[in-house]
Structure formats: C-alpha cells, structure tokens
Amino acid sequence: MPKEIKDKINQQPLISQEQENDKPPFETTTLWDYPKQSYGKKPKGNNKFQGVTPAFIIWNMLQRYTKPGDLVVDPMASSGTAIDVCEEEGRKVIGYDINPQHPKVIKNDSRKIPLADNSVDMVFIDSPYGDNVNYSDDPADIGKISAEDPRFYEELEKVAKEIYRILKPGKVMGWLIGDQWVKRKFTPVGFKIYQMLVDDVKFEPIDLICVVRRNQSSNTRLWHYRAQKFNFFLRGFKYLILVKKPDGKKMERPLKVDWKKYK
C-alpha cells in the first residue's frame, strides 16, 4: 500500500463515520464491545426485556454478510431486536418466538420453521443459555431445560438443523450464547453449542467473537463482592459463533505444495 494512503488511514479519527451517524462501530476484531443495548434514535427490541440482544451485534452481521433486500430470519426473536435493526437497514426479516414480545414476531416453535429449504440469506439467533431466565410458562420453551442436561443440546440441535435447512448454501448464521456458572459448577455452554454446530450439524466455522457482557443483573457491587469472597468469576462475555452452510464448492485454487523444498 502506498505510504500516502497508509498515512491518511492512520490519521483518521477512531470515531468512525457510522458512530457520527448514530450507527454502531463496524467491528474489525474478535472482541466486540458496546456500552448500550441499542443505538440511534429509534429503540431496537425492548431493553426492559430480560435477555434482550445487543442491537449492534445484528447490525455488524448485516454489514458483513447481507445486502439490502436480503431475507434475514431470527428463530427466537422475542422483543424483536433483529426485526427493528433489519427494517432500518432495508433487509427483509422474519422473526419467530414461542413467546412473542413484539407485534411483528410470529408465534412458532423453532424446532420446525415454516420456510422452504435454501430460502434465507442470513440467520441470527440468541437462544436460551440454560434455564437461568424464566421466559414463559410454555412447555415448548427450551429455556426450561438446564444447560447441565444433555436434552438442552439435543433440543437446540433440532433448531440448528432447521436453520441449516432454510439457509441458502454458503450463507451465514450467528449464534449468540453464554457459559454458565451455577452452584459452584462451570458449564462451557458455548463450546458445547460450537461442537454441536460444527461436528454434528456440519456447519463450516467462520470465526468466534467474544461479546462483552454489560448491564447484566449480576453487575452489582454485591455480586462483585461475592465473586471475590467466594473465589469465582462473574460471566464477562458471550460468544457469537459465526458459521456458514457449506456451498459445496471446492477451493478455487488448491494449495500446491512444493515437496522438493522439504526434502
């Protein structure tokens, strides 16, 4: 890259054009942090809803993996953060949830998604992380099952298989998930979901993002005191697991190894 261009880039302020225009920053590393649940003048989702998704995550995924007019699906949309972000960004969107909290979210159990095979351009899902939040009394709510119970992963695998089916080949899914530390026991929920997606459902890995957790109910003086006194850690991040449905294409330029060089 010519030196003048490098200098020009280095001189640019760290506050991007997007932030000036009330958009979140375009994330370029695998550590994503945003101090608020939403951005801009219009709220996205309901920040009073326990378990609401940080809107900047969906905004960042849209910039990288979709174009205007693409169809995005959120199978567990609840208060509709994905719907609000997608509509503002000119994407078509369908949100489902077993317990809708937004007028445009359709009631549906995401173990069966009423959409055709290979019809969707991107999926975002923020599933329950175990039974830590009481979302509803519906027995079909997967958030009724503990993350220590193998059934939790079996039920979420059914959801993952539906997502795989409706995605077009080569298209991307982001799954937001957090680990669990309850009653002195750590459960690596994120690793287990990653393993299920890649090993069992056969999604191709793209990357693993750490999203800083803010404004959670344990972010109080009392919990920080307990974490120190009883020697445990409060959850500081969630994973955004980025995967894609294979497109069946072989690598365009297969790697040629010059074996003579290694003799």
Residue 98 in the binding site for ligand SAM (CB under 6 A): yes
- Cβ atoms of 215 and 236 closer than 8 Å: no
**Rg, Å, the chain Cα set:** 20
Beta strand extents in the chain (DSSP E only): 31-32, 71-74, 92-97, 106-107, 120-126, 167-177, 180-182, 185-187, 204-212, 237-244
As given in the structure block, the two tokens for residue 93 are 């969107």
Residue 27 in the binding site for ligand SAM (CB under 6 A): no
Residue 109 in the binding site for ligand SAM (CB under 6 A): yes
Smaller CB separation from ligand SAM, 106 or 232: 106
As given in the structure block, the two tokens for residue 142 are 């997967």
As given in the structure block, the two tokens for residue 127 are 């599933």
Torsion of CA 102, 107, 111, 116, to 10 degrees: -100
- Which span sits near ligand SAM by CB under 6 A: 28-36, 107-115, 177-185, 201-209? 107-115
CA distance to 18, 55, 255, per residue, from 260 (Å): 51, 52, 15
Site string for ligand SAM, 45-64 (x = CB under 6 A): x---x-xxx-----------
Q: Which of 38, 66, 110, 180 binds ligand SAM (CB under 6 A)?
A: 110
Residue 77 in the binding site for ligand SAM (CB under 6 A): yes
As given in the structure block, the two tokens for residue 90 are 């000119």
Residue 241 in the binding site for ligand SAM (CB under 6 A): no
Q: Which of 97, 121, 131, 162 binds ligand SAM (CB under 6 A)?
A: 97
Closest CA to 236 of 251, 248, 224: 224
Residue 79 in the binding site for ligand SAM (CB under 6 A): yes
The tally of CA atoms less than 13 A away on the side-chain side of residue 201 is 28
Residue 140 in the binding site for ligand SAM (CB under 6 A): yes
Q: How far is the CB of 247 from ligand SAM (least distance, A)?
A: 27
**DSSP code, position 45:** S
Residue 76 in the binding site for ligand SAM (CB under 6 A): yes
Phi, psi of 128 (to 5 degrees): -60, 150
Size of the site for ligand SAM (CB under 6 A): 26
Distance CA(50)–CA(133), nearest Å, equals 8
Smaller CB separation from ligand SAM, 161 or 226: 161
Q: How far is the CB of 150 from ligand SAM (least distance, A)?
A: 17
Q: How far is the CB of 124 from ligand SAM (least distance, A)?
A: 8
- Which span sits near ligand SAM by CB under 6 A: 24-32, 78-86, 202-210, 222-230? 78-86
**DSSP code, position 36:** S
- Which span sits near ligand SAM by CB under 6 A: 15-23, 141-149, 177-185, 247-255? 141-149
Smaller CB separation from ligand SAM, 28 or 217: 217
Interface residue list for ligand SAM (CB under 6 A): 45, 49, 51-53, 76-79, 81, 96-99, 109-111, 126-128, 135-136, 140-143
